[in-house]
Amino acid sequence: MKLILLGAPGAGKGTVAKLLTKIDGSVQISTGDILRGAVAAGTELGKQAQAAMKAGDLVSDDLIMGIMEERLQEDDCKSGYLLDGFPRTIPQAEALKALLEKMGEKLDAAVEIQVPRDVILDRLTTRRTCEDCGAIYNVKSNPTKVEGVCDKCGGAAIQREDETEE
């Protein structure tokens, strides 16, 4: 299955993607994950993305599309993929359409997950993310075994600055 999952931060895209990938063996791909992966791998595009992020700039659509193209051509994507929160803009959607045409692929569906604002705010303000491996927890529904410590890697499970009530 080749699918796009769209929705606001905290809508549950990542959770739904994890469930679906267990069912059909596809892979979950999020922009943040592929950016971190390209930076960690030290690819040329990863180095460019890292430079932009260190400078406090947004990573350009061209750079994101280059990294996305590299990711979609990896072997594990042959059995299908779920794009988690991508594309975010109309130019990204147009670039993705052109990329898929170039690759000779078609999406099976695009799904928007809609959740009430108060539910999203509650989810985001109680969410904790591991600084090291990116694992996601929720202090109410899925807390870490030891407060503030990631169960998977032992890193710090923190509340991101953009996930506070302010």
- CATH number of the domain at 38, please: 3.40.50.300
Q: Are residues 92 and 131 in the same domain?
A: no
Largest CA distance in the chain: 47
Tokens 């739904």 sit on residue: 16
Q: E strands within the chain?
A: 2-6, 27-30, 81-84, 109-112, 127-130, 136-138, 157-158
Kindly state whether residues 15 and 61 are assigned to the same domain: yes
pLDDT tens string, the chain, 166 residues long: the values are 999 999 998 999 989 999 999 999 999 999 888 888 888 899 898 899 889 888 888 889 999 999 999 999 999 999 999 999 899 999 999 999 999 999 999 999 999 999 999 999 999 999 999 999 889 999 999 999 999 999 999 999 999 887 877 6
pTM greater than 0.85: no
**Judgement on whether residues 26 and 102 belong to the same structural domain of the protein:** yes
Closest CA to 67 of 85, 44, 83, 90: 44
Do 100 and 148 share a domain, yes or no? no
56 lies in the same domain as 130 = no
Q: 147 and 74 in one domain? A: no
Domain match, 68 and 44 both: yes
Structure tokens of 121?
């705010």
Check whether residue 69 and residue 132 sit in a common domain: no
Q: How many domains does the chain have?
A: 2
Supply the range of the domain harboring residue 129.
117-163
Cα(103)–Cα(152) distance, rounded to whole angstroms? 35
Alpha carbon distances (Å) from 114 to 7, 86, 87, 97:
6, 15, 16, 23
Q: Are residues 11 and 47 in the same domain?
A: yes
